[in-house]
Structure 1
């Protein structure tokens, strides 16, 4: 005669130790993942905020063979002073003009047309960089 098997049906008397461990690991993983996202967001925000003066060249135009107009847009803190440097390049990408402009206005956004004298005909303009001071 065969003996009856006395194992309890799965799920009837609670979760097994493995299921409880898996659940705890999922919770720990979710918490650590959330902390990582918060940490990366904090780092990214303070990295961007640390650069309190930024700019971009909106457009440029060669006015004469020795003069270029550069439309520069600058973003900064209202009470921050700083400067931006632009340069003009010829067809071979050689620098033919450079100028640093200071910004002390109590504005957060400044649009300015910069007149840049060049030593030769220029075909492009670029922002070298901005800094606070």
Structure 2
């Protein structure tokens, strides 16, 4: 086989197609979660914290005091933007919560869709078996 036919086989394997589908769905899901974080959750957190924008929080490493992060960057000061870390942790918790809720709902629907196991057919009762044995014995004795 040629290189291209082997490559085509590889690409058309079920695992690769499933992985590609998962990546596309994951990217779409990320867009939704990012919007919820940016447009819904972050304003609520800002309201609860008195309008604090964590992404603007920083520590200047040169010992100078700057009015804002932009001013520190314009001065080319080395800064630790710890607010970005706080915002990333908040985003992580929110994304984790969304994924948890999504998978939980999925599992609940999956349980509802599972068909109930079919009961095994009942065999003959004791009386029926004894009657069959009796009838067989009668046939053999004749």
Instruction: Answer whether TM exceeds 0.5 for this pair.
Output: no
- Which is greater in Rg? 2
Give the structure with the larger helix fraction. Answer: 2
Greater fraction strand: 1
Relative contact order (alpha carbons < 8 A, sep ≥ 6): 1 or 2 greater?
1
TM-score normalised to structure 2 length:
0.29
